[in-house]
Structure 1
C-alpha cells in the first residue's frame, strides 16, 4: 500500500496538463477561479477513474494494437509537454487561458487528458495490495488517490498564485522550467516501466 501511495504522489505531482493548467489559472485569475477549476478537475479525474474501474476503458482498449498506439501517443504527448516546458526560456511555462475555464473546463480537460488515463490505468490496474477483496482494494485506492490528489492540486494552484506575485530573475524562471520538464520525463519513464 505504501508503494501505491508513493506512486500516486509522484505520478500526480509531476507536471501534466491538469497541474500546469491549475497553476496557470491561479496565476492568471486568482484563488476563487482556480478553486472552481480544481473542482472540475477533481470531478473529471474521478470520472476517468470510474471509466477505468468499470471496464469501459478496458473494453475500448481490448485491441492490443490500439492500446499500443494510445500508449505511444500518451508517452509522445507527455514528452512533448516536457520539451515545451524545458525550452520555454525565461518565461515560466504554465498553460494559461484568456478567461477562467471553471468547473466544466476542468471536467473537459480531464476527459481528454492522456496523463489522467495513463496514470489512473497504471494505478488502478497495478499495485495490487489487497487480493482477498478487490472491491475493498479499489475503494481504498479511490480514497488514497483523492487524499493525495486534492492537496497536490491546491499546492499547484498556490504555486501559480505565488509565482505571479514574484518578480523572479530570468535564471530562476529557466531553472523552474527545467525542473518541471525533468519531473514530466519521470512520468514518461514510470509509464514506460509500467508497460514492461
Structure 2
C-alpha cells in the first residue's frame, strides 16, 4: 500500500493540464473564485476513474477512429498549452484565463485529459496490495487517490495565487515558464506513446 501511495503522489503532483490550469486560474482570479473549477476537475477525475474501473474507457478507446480523434484533439490541445507557456516571455504564464472558472470547465478538461486516463489506468490496474479482496483494494485505492488529489490541487491553486503576487526577476520567470512547458511536453510524449501502444 505504501508503494501505491508513493506512486499516487508522484503521478498526480507532476504538472499536467489539470494542475497547470488550476494554478493559472488561481493567478488570474484568486483562490476562492477558482475553487469551482477545482471542484469540476475533482468530479471529472472521478468520472474518468469510474470509466476506467467499469471498462467504459477501454470500450470507447477500442474504436480505432474514435481513439485517434480523441488522442489527436488531446495532443493538439496539450501542445498548444505547452507553446503558450514556453513562449510567454518573461512573465509567468500558466494558462491565460479569459472567463471565470467554473465546474463545467474542469469537467471538460478532464474528459480530454490523456494524463487523467493514463494515471487512473496505471494506478487501478497496477500496484496490487490485496489481490484476494479486490473490492477492498479498489475502494482503498479510490480513497487514497482522492485523499492525495485534493491537497495537491489546492496547493497548486495556492501556488498560482501566490506567484501572481510575487515580483520575480525575468530570469526566474523564464525558468518557471520553461519548466512548465517541459512538463507539458512530457505529458504530450506520454499521451503519444499511449496512443501508439
TM-score by length of 2: 0.82
Q: Give the corresponding residue for 1:155.
A: 155
Verify the 8 A CA contact 1:74 1:118 in the aligned structure 2: no
Q: 1:4 to 1:70 in 2, by over 3 A?
A: farther
Matches for 1:112-151 after TM superposition, within 5 Å:
112-151=112-151
Verify the 8 A CA contact 1:23 1:94 in the aligned structure 2: yes
Q: What is the CA deviation profile of residues 115-148 of structure 1, one whole-angstrom value per residue up to 9, with x for unaligned ones?
A: 2112111211222222111111111111111111
Matches for 1:31-50 after TM superposition, within 5 Å:
31-50=31-50
Q: 1:2 to 1:76 in 2, by over 3 A?
A: farther
* Distance across 2 between alignment mates of 1:175 and 1:87: 12
Residue 21 of structure 1: how far off its partner (Å):
0.9
Q: Greater shift after overlay, 167-176 or 57-66? A: 57-66
Q: How many residues align?
A: 195
Residue 166 of structure 1: how far off its partner (Å):
1.0
Residue 189 of structure 1: how far off its partner (Å):
7.3
Partner SS, residue 30 of structure 2: helix
Partner SS, residue 168 of structure 2: coil
Which consecutive unaligned segments of at least 5 residues does structure 1 have?
none
* Distance across 2 between alignment mates of 1:138 and 1:71: 27
Residue 61 of structure 1: how far off its partner (Å):
2.9
Residue 70 of structure 1: how far off its partner (Å):
6.7
Verify the 8 A CA contact 1:11 1:187 in the aligned structure 2: no
* Distance across 2 between alignment mates of 1:2 and 1:73: 36
Verify the 8 A CA contact 1:78 1:115 in the aligned structure 2: no
RMSD: 2.7
Q: What is the CA deviation profile of residues 19-66 of structure 1, one whole-angstrom value per residue up to 9, with x for unaligned ones?
A: 111111111111121111111111111011001101111222346897
Residue 16 of structure 1: how far off its partner (Å):
1.3
